[in-house]
């Protein structure tokens, strides 16, 4: 009987530890919307991702392994600027985007309070814009190109301008499948970088394509 009690107690401790390690301390969903001025009028595209924040106190044997980490679930927002020409807002930095947009910062313990402050539609400050990219050939992952948010005209046309990027905390479902449908090669490229190399390297000829991978566009690839 005592042995069974010890086994049960041990199992409970393992479950508690697993909960501490794998269950996020805070979770929210945020909707990113891109608005672009075009000759045909304002065009927009949105995407909803879920942000999970984890607070780690570090294991007893490694007390220095403490801090806050985040995980983003979902896919990049995009807008069709012109027929067959798309602008994507990548997932990098999505975990900090709400705090930067709503101008809240500090320790993890305060995020619960910040959640009350993160209400309503807000324009994302220019300095916190997500990485914007396009493809010169939507079927060629290595043709990815970084976009200057202040100069969309250089890539699309003189009449195309970024109007704004907005963020809103939401209860809408996480966006899934749209990016994968548009970029049908994502699963084929994974787990490589967009230039086809297995890992990022300074020796890559196409450094920008080499710096990105399918996870920059969707967290759902080959789950």
Distant-in-sequence contacts of 96-100, Cβ < 8 A, 24+ apart:
96/70, 97/30, 97/32, 97/124, 97/128, 97/130, 97/167, 98/28, 98/30, 98/51, 98/167, 98/169, 100/124, 100/125, 100/128
Q: Is residue 48 part of a domain?
A: yes
Q: Is residue 37 part of a domain?
A: yes
What's the rounded Cα separation, in Å, for the pair 192 and 91?
Answer: 17
Q: Is residue 186 part of a domain?
A: no
- Can you give the residue range of the structural domain that contains 123? 25-175
Q: Is residue 65 part of a domain?
A: yes
Q: Is residue 86 part of a domain?
A: yes
Q: How many domains does the chain have?
A: 1
What's the rounded Cα separation, in Å, for the pair 192 and 37?
Answer: 34
| pLDDT value of residue 8 | 42
Q: Over the chain (223 residues), what is each successive 10-residue block's mean pLDDT?
A: 46 41 79 97 97 70 57 96 96 91 71 73 96 97 97 94 97 95 96 96 96 95 68
Q: Is residue 2 part of a domain?
A: no
Q: Is residue 9 part of a domain?
A: no
**122-123/161-170 β-pairing:** antiparallel
Q: Is residue 206 part of a domain?
A: no
């Amino acid at each position: 009987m005592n042995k069974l009690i010890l086994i049960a107690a041990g199992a409970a401790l393992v479950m508690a530890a697993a909960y501490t390690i794998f269950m996020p301390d805070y979770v929210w969903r945020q909707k990113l919307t891109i608005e672009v001025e075009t000759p045909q009028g304002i065009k927009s595209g949105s995407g909803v991702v879920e942000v999970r924040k984890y607070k780690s106190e570090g294991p007893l044997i490694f007390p220095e392994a403490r801090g806050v980490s985040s995980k983003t679930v979902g896919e990049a927002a995009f807008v069709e600027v012109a027929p067959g020409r798309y602008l994507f807002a990548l997932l990098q930095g999505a975990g900090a985007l709400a705090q930067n947009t709503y101008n809240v910062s500090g320790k993890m313990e305060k995020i619960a309070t910040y959640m009350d402050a993160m209400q309503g539609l807000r324009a994302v400050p220019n300095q916190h814009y997500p990485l914007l990219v396009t493809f010169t050939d939507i079927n060629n992952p290595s043709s990815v190109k970084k976009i200057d948010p202040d100069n969309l005209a250089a890539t699309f046309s003189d009449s195309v301008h970024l109007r704004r990027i907005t963020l809103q905390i939401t209860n809408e479902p996480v966006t899934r499948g749209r990016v994968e449908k548009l970029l049908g090669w994502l699963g084929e490229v994974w787990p490589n970088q967009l230039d086809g190399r297995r890992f990022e390297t300074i020796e890559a000829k196409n450094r920008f394509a080499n710096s990105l991978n399918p996870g920059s566009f969707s967290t759902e690839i080959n789950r």
